[in-house]
């Protein structure tokens, strides 16, 4: 099914900001409906589309924006692959509003000769109980066996015998699932391979004309996708780093020996991914990304950037620099006085995005003057939370500026679990990783 109307953005930011307070999801929804709020109308419309249409709906979670579809209907799930232009052999994560919904997935109704009855036989494996108690709702996805007679559409699991599921920390996301009364398959709401969206504007940029409706809840708080874990293997494994770190997992009973089960590249095309994000190139802007390892000498980085600007074969007319902890603005390529004269703030979803000019030696313009090339600079901040939250927005902002190359200052994987998630995304986006 193809959208028949322009893509609309409906604001539900108030719900995201206020949350349910002490109310249950049902009480919260009843209150919004009784007050006939515009947010209730937006949620109701989104839920109706999720129940009855094969065109997915974009909605915010605490990690990134998701592209949701009823996980029990094949046509609905196929709509995700069509809108994202995503390969269909890449499994999808299921989002639930409660453990009761998960129980219904694990124990589909069995028909007896005399009556319909639910026969509870599949429970959550005990290995996951401490994780669920500590991290749900939250940015953690667990792998579970897909039961016989599964309610899930085949397209969700990509023919795997397991499915990934999480309960999002975002009350707004859980409210949408609750009102829809369906488990939602929801990968990131971006065009396949592009940087994940952390705002409604990002979703609109990628998917306008491919979907009808985007729920706008404001910027996402975490900025990288959920951690995916496999407790069915021995020892347990982290299949994708994210908002919950491996050291946090190791403090939970049964997870002391959890191992890294991913690598930061991509799988061979013939390999079957155990979880989303393990196959194919991800998070990539249009520009070439060059990732410098943490601790790279800043002067050597500056020389590398200048060489690319001067090399006509590379053809770098405009470049972007994404800084984290140590690089200074301009990388010393221009004097402080020259930089201050050419600095221009750039309107963007990224807080600290500016441009300045770099003179290129041994190059002359048509009028005989020196050639200057524009450089865009974005500082994500020094703390890992800010880096993770702003990473995808920074890559997207550089694409908006139409830079040719983006140079990124990496962080140490050993600095913490969020650092591992950031570097995982950057390595999947980068065409090269250098240490100089």
Residue 154 tokens read as: 């085949």
Residue 180 has φ and ψ, to the nearest 5°, of: -70, -30
Residue 239 tokens read as: 């299949």
CA distances from 257 to 34, 129, 423 (A): 50, 16, 23
316 annotated binding-site participant: no
95 annotated binding-site participant: yes
13 annotated binding-site participant: no
User: How far apart, in whole angstroms, are the C-alpha atoms of residue 43 and residue 246?
Assistant: 35
128 annotated binding-site participant: no
47 annotated binding-site participant: no
281 annotated binding-site participant: no
Look at residues 425, 388, 421 and name the one whose alpha carbon lies nearest to residue 140. Answer: 421
86 annotated binding-site participant: yes
393 annotated binding-site participant: no
CA distances from 306 to 344, 372, 407 (A): 20, 11, 12
296 annotated binding-site participant: no
CA distances from 111 to 72, 102, 119, 144, 154 (A): 18, 20, 9, 23, 21
Residue 253 has φ and ψ, to the nearest 5°, of: -55, 130
Q: At what angle do helices 384-400 and 200-207 cross, to 10 degrees?
A: 40
210 annotated binding-site participant: no
CA distances from 209 to 5, 189, 206, 343 (A): 8, 13, 9, 36
112 annotated binding-site participant: no
C-beta separation of 249 from 142 below 8 A:
no
Residue 233 tokens read as: 């293997």
The number of CA neighbours under 13 Å toward the Cβ of 179 is 23
240 annotated binding-site participant: yes
Q: Which residues are annotated as a binding site?
A: 63, 86, 90, 95, 162, 166, 186, 188, 196, 226, 240, 283
Q: Which residues are annotated as a binding site for L-threonine?
A: 95, 166, 186, 226
Q: Which residues are annotated as a binding site for ATP?
A: 63, 86, 90, 162, 188, 196, 240, 283
């Amino acid at each position: 099914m193809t959208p028949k109307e322009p893509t609309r953005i409906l604001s539900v930011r108030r719900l995201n900001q206020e949350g349910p307070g002490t109310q249950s999801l049902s009480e919260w929804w009843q209150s919004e409906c009784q007050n006939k709020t515009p947010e209730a109308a937006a949620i109701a419309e989104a839920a109706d589309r999720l129940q009855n249409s094969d065109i997915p709906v974009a909605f915010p979670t605490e990690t990134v924006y998701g592209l949701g579809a009823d996980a029990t209907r094949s046509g609905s799930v196929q709509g995700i692959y069509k809108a994202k232009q995503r390969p269909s052999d890449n499994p999808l994560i299921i989002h639930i509003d409660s453990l009761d919904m998960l129980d219904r997935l694990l124990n589909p109704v069995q028909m007896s000769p005399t009556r319909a009855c639910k026969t509870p036989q599949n429970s959550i494996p005990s290995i996951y109980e401490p994780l669920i108690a500590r991290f749900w709702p939250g940015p953690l996805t667990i792998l579970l066996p897909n039961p016989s007679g599964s309610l899930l559409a085949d397209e969700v699991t990509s023919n795997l015998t397991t499915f990934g599921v999480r309960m999002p920390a975002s009350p707004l996301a859980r409210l949408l699932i609750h009102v829809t009364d369906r488990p939602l398959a929801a990968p990131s709401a971006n065009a396949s391979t592009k940087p994940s969206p952390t705002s409604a504007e990002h979703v609109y940029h990628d998917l306008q004309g491919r979907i009808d409706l985007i729920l706008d809840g404001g910027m996402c708080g975490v900025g990288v996708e959920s951690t995916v874990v496999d407790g069915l293997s021995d020892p347990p494994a982290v299949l994708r780093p994210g908002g919950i770190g491996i050291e946090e997992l190791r403090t939970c009973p049964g997870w002391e020996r959890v191992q890294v089960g991913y690598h930061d590249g991509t799988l061979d095309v013939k390999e079957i991914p155990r979880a989303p994000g393990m196959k194919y190139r991800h998070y990539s802007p249009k520009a070439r990304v060059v990732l410098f390892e943490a601790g790279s000498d800043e002067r050597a980085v500056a020389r590398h950037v200048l060489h690319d600007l001067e090399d006509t074969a590379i053809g770098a007319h405009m470049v972007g620099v994404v800084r984290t902890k140590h690089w200074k603005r301009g990388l010393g390529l221009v004097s402080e006085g020259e930089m201050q004269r050419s600095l221009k703030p750039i309107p963007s979803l990224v807080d600290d995005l500016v441009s300045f000019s770099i003179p290129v030696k041994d190059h002359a313009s048509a009028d005989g003057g020196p050639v200057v090339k524009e450089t865009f600079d974005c500082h994500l901040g020094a703390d890992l939370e800010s880096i993770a939250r702003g990473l995808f927005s920074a890559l997207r902002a550089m694409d908006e500026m139409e830079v040719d190359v983006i140079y990124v200052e990496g962080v140490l994987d050993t600095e913490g679990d969020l650092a591992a998630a950031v570097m995982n995304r950057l390595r999947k986006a980068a065409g090269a990783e250098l240490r100089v």
